[in-house]
């Protein structure tokens, strides 16, 4: 009897569960099925909109991150790097060489302090690599970082090198290999000085040195923590670099160099410097005219021409597409 009573109770419980399930199903299907369908359609639309919004946000974040940390595209506007780069070329620049730059703080939004720091990259700049950088002398009288002007030139000397030009040929002391675009240098060596206007023939730093595009240097390229003796003559080579690093005046008085009103016989450089040269050596505004490039101005290494359009005809130059540098 007890067993039969237990079985009867179980049947009652199962019956009640079945009835509750049926009631819940009926409640989820109201008398107006069209209204329920519209609600589910609206829900699906909202979910799709949210999904596309999140996709768009993630895409923008990824694109900005790649632009800041990995690579960027630049248009070549002139012929100063011809024939390697010509006007109308679009190049990709690898920012991981020597490493991406970021602002030290957001204070530049208030006071214009554009101090940068460089994150760790793959490696340092090497000789003969094509580099994109911010032009350092938009204000000729002082070295500063101009975010609106970009140059592409070839690095022909790195920190620790002693660079010079001998009859138009680029050379580094104790370095036997060729530098830059050698064929154009050979043409320069054969061209008489009278074929050049004075503003092209004469070079950095001033008339006291008397350097020109065929006879230049020797000039030591300082690197980070390099101690360089300074005197009333060679301070002409390094004055703007020192003023840029110290943000203090550099003067020559009574046969003595003064840095921040203190007499100085040597200076320890705070960062690396490079000598940049255009492949079109006959007419290229490069380090021969404005001096050395600070490392914090470097954007990265150009590695490929990804497309090219003729600036005169507007036609695509297909042979230059995906040409490596």
pLDDT tens, residue by residue, 61-96: 777 777 677 789 999 999 999 999 999 999 999 999
pLDDT (tens digit per residue) in 253-283: 988 999 999 999 999 999 999 999 999 999 9
C-alpha closest to that of 225 among 271, 266, 260: 271
- The pLDDT score that the predictor gives to residue 114 is 66
Q: How far apart are CA 213 and CA 166, in angstroms?
A: 9
Domain-located, residue 219: yes
Residues 51 and 111 in one domain: no
Structure-block tokens of residue 228: 């360089």
CATH number at residue 200: 2.10.109.10
Residues 174 and 305 in one domain: yes
Structure-block tokens of residue 222: 């300082």
Most distant pair of Cα atoms in the chain: their distance: 128
- Residue 39: how many CB atoms within 10 A of its CB? 10
Residues 57 and 112 in one domain: no
Domain-located, residue 254: no
Residues 184 and 310 in one domain: yes
Residues 120 and 172 in one domain: yes
Q: How far apart are CA 247 and CA 51, in angstroms?
A: 51
C-alpha closest to that of 226 among 238, 240, 218, 244: 238
Residues 177 and 52 in one domain: no
Domain-located, residue 232: no
pLDDT (tens digit per residue) in 11-67: 554 455 455 444 544 444 455 555 666 667 777 777 778 878 787 888 787 777 776
With beta carbons less than 8 A apart as the criterion, state whether 133 and 299 touch: yes
Domain-located, residue 249: no
Instruction: Tell which of 69, 89, 115 closes a domain.
Output: 69
- The pLDDT score that the predictor gives to residue 58 is 80
Q: What is the pTM of this model?
A: 0.80
Q: How far apart are CA 295 and CA 103, in angstroms?
A: 15
Residues 167 and 62 in one domain: no
pLDDT (tens digit per residue) in 156-165: 999 999 999 9
pLDDT confidence tier of residue 290, bands split at 50, 70 and 90: very high
pLDDT confidence tier of residue 191, bands split at 50, 70 and 90: very high
% of the chain beyond a pLDDT of 70: 84
CA distances from residue 61 to 50, 54, 56, 57, 102 in whole angstroms, order as listed = 16, 11, 9, 6, 16
Domain-located, residue 262: no
Domain-located, residue 247: no
Q: How far apart are CA 212 and CA 39, in angstroms?
A: 80
% of the chain beyond a pLDDT of 90: 64
Give the chain's domain count.
2
Instruction: Tell which of 69, 89, 114 closes a domain.
Output: 69
Continuous segment of H or E residues that includes residue 143: none
Residues 80 and 202 in one domain: yes
- The pLDDT score that the predictor gives to residue 36 is 60
Q: How far apart are CA 27 and CA 88, in angstroms?
A: 68
Residues 120 and 210 in one domain: yes
3-class DSSP assignment, residue 152: strand
Domain-located, residue 217: yes
Instruction: Tell which of 25, 52, 69 closes a domain.
Output: 69
Residues 84 and 168 in one domain: yes
Domain-located, residue 316: yes
Residues 126 and 180 in one domain: yes
Over residues 194-199, mean pLDDT:
92
Residues 95 and 61 in one domain: no
Residue 1 predicted with pLDDT over 70: no
User: What is the average pLDDT score of the chain?
Assistant: 86
Q: How far apart are CA 277 and CA 165, in angstroms?
A: 12
CA distances from residue 81 to 65, 85, 148, 261, 314 in whole angstroms, order as listed = 29, 5, 20, 41, 20
For residue 305, give its domain range.
Answer: 70-226+269-324
pLDDT confidence tier of residue 249, bands split at 50, 70 and 90: very high
């Amino acid at each position: 009897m007890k067993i039969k009573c237990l079985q009867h109770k179980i049947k009652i419980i199962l019956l009640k569960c079945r009835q509750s399930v049926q009631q819940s199903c009926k409640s989820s299907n109201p008398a107006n099925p069209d209204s329920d369908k519209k609600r589910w359609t609206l829900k699906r639309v909202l979910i799709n909109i949210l999904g596309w919004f999140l996709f768009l946000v993630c895409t923008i974040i990824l694109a900005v991150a790649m632009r800041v940390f990995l690579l960027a595209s630049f248009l070549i506007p002139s012929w100063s790097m011809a024939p390697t780069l010509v006007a109308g070329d679009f190049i990709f620049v690898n920012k991981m060489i020597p490493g991406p730059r970021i602002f030290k703080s957001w204070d530049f939004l208030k006071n214009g302090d554009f101090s940068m720091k460089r994150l760790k990259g793959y490696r340092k700049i090497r000789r003969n690599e094509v580099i994109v950088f911010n032009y350092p002398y938009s204000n000729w009288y002082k070295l500063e970082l101009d975010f609106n002007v970009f140059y592409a030139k070839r690095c022909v000397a790195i920190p620790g090198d002693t660079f010079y030009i001998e009859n138009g040929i680029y050379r580094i002391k104790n370095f036997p290999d060729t530098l830059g675009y050698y064929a154009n240098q050979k043409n320069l060596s054969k061209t008489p000085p009278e074929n050049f206007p004075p503003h092209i023939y004469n070079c950095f730093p001033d008339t006291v040195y008397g350097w020109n595009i065929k006879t230049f240097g020797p000039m030591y390229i300082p690197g980070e923590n390099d101690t360089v003796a300074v005197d009333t003559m060679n301070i002409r080579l390094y004055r703007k670099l020192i003023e840029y690093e110290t943000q203090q005046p550099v003067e020559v008085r009574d046969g003595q160099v003064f840095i921040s009103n203190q007499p100085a016989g040597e200076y320890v450089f705070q960062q690396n410097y490079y000598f940049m040269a255009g492949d079109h050596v006959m007419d290229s505004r490069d380090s021969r005219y404005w001096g050395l490039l600070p490392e914090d101005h470097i954007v990265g290494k150009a590695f490929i021409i990804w497309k090219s359009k003729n600036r005169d005809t507007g036609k695509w130059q297909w042979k230059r597409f995906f040409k490596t540098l």
